Amino acid sequence: MELIVLLIIFFIVAIFVVSIYNSLVRLRNQVKNAWSQIDVQLKRRHDLIPNLMETVKGYMKHERETLENITSARSRAMGAETVGDKAKAEGELNGAMSKFFLVVENYPDLKANQNFLSLQEELTSTENKISYSRQAYNDQVLFFNNKIEVFPSNIIAGMFNFKQSEFFEISDPGERDVPKVDFS
Amino acid sequence: MWELIRQNRRKSFILFIMMGICLLLLGYLLGMAFWGEGGGPAGLALAFIIWAVLSLVSYFSGDSIMLRMAGAKLVTPDVHPQLFNVVEEMKIAASLPVMPKVYIIDTPAPNAFATGRNPEKSAIAVTAGLLTRLNRDELQGVVAHEMSHILNRDILFMTFAGIMLGSILLLSRMFLYSGGGRGSRRIESKKSSGGGGVPIVAIIAIIFAILAPILAHFLYMAISRQREYLADASAVRLTRYPEGLASALEKISRSDKEIPNVNKVTAPMYIANPLRAKGKKAANLGSTHPPIKERIRILRTMSHGADFAQYQEAYQSVTGKDENLIPSSGLKDAAAIPIRGRETAGVEPPDPNSKTGTRQLNDLMRAVNEYLFVACVCGLRFKLPPDFKKKEFSCPRCQRNIVVPTAELAAAAVVLDQLEAKDKITADAKQTSIDKTYHRTGTGWETLSCPSCGHKLQLSPDFEGDSIKCGKCGTEIKIEK
């Protein structure tokens, strides 16, 4: 009799542990997936930048420094490995891009260029996609980290060595904003 | 966010069950009135069958019925690149697994709706009038609102609730118009044989048959209105920019154009009540949408943050109601979310009543309908309908001869077919043998055919990339000026 009761209790506990473990794994995968979404968009921006440089270089001969800043920030961002490094490098790229878009204001010819206008829509959209995927990623991370911290899932998380994920925050407050692309 | 969706579903489920009970009770009573005391279960079964059949039909083909009724057309990204970008942005923000299909409705009335029984099979349809009126931020607000309907699983639920309403209406009409008379005859005959229970049942049935549709209607509208507020709140949470949606709603409310083929059941799917132009006051209880002015005011009151708690606060202060729009578990999900700044790229669209506005709208509507855009060297532009049969025509201004590109392409396709039949070249070999470059003839709308599969592609005046991907076979086509 006692054996049966013990078995039942053991069984219930086992189901409980398994379900929490599974939900933790699912959440961790969602975090990974959200991260890969950001990656896709960041890559897209990296791909767009050479196009942009090609389009504007004829117009902006006197802005070598601004353009070089973007190119070097881009190559640094492409080389970054960890979440923290990446956030920092992308922050720098953001800063360089917003400076560039400020400078563009002085070039009415460029602003009238059809090619530039469609690139501008693509860049705006990519910037938005980056910030929205970051938003989605951070939401997932918050949810996952909460789950790891609260009882009873913290016990299972500790047992199976689930680690908290890093938020993707742009470190420098001045560079937090996505460059404002406004040519009106 | 997920907590909220779950809560939202539970709340709607209760309302849904109430409507179900309403339907079954109606069926039962009508059965009793029709076939005597033993007829209750039969009536119940009848009501259930009607409901089940309609639900099955709407589950499996509700989205295509809805899209066809509205006259929505599936479009490729080149018809309106910005719309596709915005939809993809919102897809990312909502972390939906797949990109919803994008449709454009060729009507000048500004409106939009979402459909599809689950996020994997969802579609977003916007009208051409909406696209030419809104700037980027506003379009984003509208798409976010529709995306929220998909994310909150509103569509399937509203479809089922709509079907329920439809079946109740159908049953009560059937009874009142045809059955009611026969029922009363039966009552008389029963009366003569001394049965006293049935007349009372019949009277109750008649009263219920009159009341049930009204009751169901109010329930339906209540659910629908709540969904709209919730979708607004979620849209703000996705975009972090309440002003975008607010000014979009303002622009929509300023138009008095009407969407064709809208009825009471499909109306709640739209972002703004499409029936409102019929001289009815939108603020009454029977409206499927909350008054648009109130929605705008709520959005504009949100100045501190873009989270649900802020929306709720704004809602309470604007409507003066104490009611909790968003369940408390949905409010605790995150700290205050800041509102982002305005980041519209490009310019404000032209006034829809101006010449440029009208021209833009018409061009977009023609592009949706697969019109061909041909430019003459003298600068005159021609818009050829898809059923234009002539291979060439002369320009009325300069008398030059203009060859219709499709005729050329069709001829090329025939040659290609013959080649293919002759030596059965593989798809890869075929792709390398065709010239995959298209030379632009002007700067306006242009149509080209994919060199490998013949699929028609539209080039917008804004398109300036150096290649375009065929929406059907995925071939990269180079674009040269």
One-letter amino acid of B53: V
The verdict on residue A165 lying in a domain is: yes
Using one digit for the tens of pLDDT, what is the confidence trace for B60-78?
887 888 888 888 888 878 7
Quick one: pLDDT at residue B280?
45
* Least confidently predicted of A153-167, B409-423, B454-468: B409-423
Cβ-based contacts of A183 with chain B (< 8 Å): 345-347
Q: Mean pLDDT over residues B150-160, rounded?
A: 81
Question: Which residue among B138, B146, B228, B243 is the active-site one?
Answer: B146
CA distance A107 to chain B (A): 15
Q: Does B1 touch chain A (CB under 8 A)?
A: yes
pLDDT at B191 over 50: no
CA distance B340 to chain A (A): 9
User: Which parts of chain A register pLDDT below 70?
Assistant: 170-184
Q: Write down the residue that tokens 């959005």 correspond to.
A: B299
Cβ-contact B296, B235 below 8 angstroms? no
pLDDT bracket for residue B144 (50, 70, 90): very high
The verdict on residue A32 lying in a domain is: yes
Q: Mean pLDDT over residues B162-168, rounded?
A: 80
Q: Tell me if the bond preceding A152 is cis, omega within 30° of 0.
A: yes
Crossing angle of the two packed helices B180-192 and B197-239, in degrees rounded to 10? 150
Instruction: Compare B265 and B431 and report the one with higher pLDDT.
Output: B265
Closest Cβ–Cβ partner in B89, B342, B464 for A129: B89
Q: What is the DSSP letter of B109?
A: S
The verdict on residue A10 lying in a domain is: no
Residues of B numbered 95-114 whose beta carbons fall under 8 angstroms of chain A's beta carbons: which are they?
95
Q: Does B151 touch chain A (CB under 8 A)?
A: no
Quick one: pLDDT at residue B103?
92
For residue A156, the enclosing domain spans 17-175
How far is residue B80's CA from residue B292's CA, in Å, rounded to a whole number? 27
Quick one: pLDDT at residue A184?
46
pLDDT at B195 over 50: no
Quick one: pLDDT at residue B63?
83
Quick one: pLDDT at residue B265?
64
Closest Cβ–Cβ partner in B94, B341, B348 for A180: B341
Residue of B nearest to A182 (CA): B345
pLDDT at B428 over 90: no
Identify the bridge partners of residue B112 per DSSP, sorted by sequence position.
B126
Q: Mean pLDDT over residues B85-100, rounded?
A: 88
Quick one: pLDDT at residue B422?
54
Q: Mean pLDDT over residues B77-98, rounded?
A: 86
CATH of the domain at A165: 1.20.1440.20
Helix, strand or coil, per DSSP, at residue B168: helix
SS3 content of chain A, % helix, strand, coil (to 5): 80, 0, 20
The tally of domains found in chain A comes to 1
Is B146 marked active-site? yes
Residues of A numbered 36-75 whose beta carbons fall under 8 angstroms of chain B's beta carbons: which are they?
37, 41
pLDDT at B419 over 60: no
Say what the ipTM of the complex is.
0.75
Q: Exposed e or buried b for every residue in A126-157, given b needs 16+ CB within 10 A?
A: bbbbbbbbbbbbbbbbbbbbebbeeeebeebb
Pairing of strands B392-394, B401-403: antiparallel
Q: What mean pLDDT is reported for chain B?
A: 74
CA dihedral (A37, A42, A44, A45) in degrees, to 10, reads 150
Residue of B nearest to A178 (CA): B343
CA distance A114 to chain B (A): 6
Cβ-based contacts of B347 with chain A (< 8 Å): 183-184
Contacts of B430 (CB under 8 A, 6+ apart): B416, B420, B452
Cβ-contact B434, B421 below 8 angstroms? no
Using one digit for the tens of pLDDT, what is the confidence trace for B19-61?
778 788 888 877 777 777 677 788 888 888 888 888 888 788 8
CB within 8 Å: A181 and B464: no
CB within 8 Å: A183 and B346: yes
Quick one: pLDDT at residue B414?
63
How far is residue A68's CA from residue A16's CA, in Å, rounded to a whole number? 57
Determine what percent of chain B is predicted with pLDDT higher than 70.
Answer: 71
Cβ-based contacts of B136 with chain A (< 8 Å): 124
Instruction: Compare A59 and B266 and report the one with higher pLDDT.
Output: A59
- Kindly list the distances between the CA atom of residue A98 and the CA atoms of A80, A169, A180, B41, B210, in Å, as whole numbers in the listed order: 21, 18, 7, 71, 64
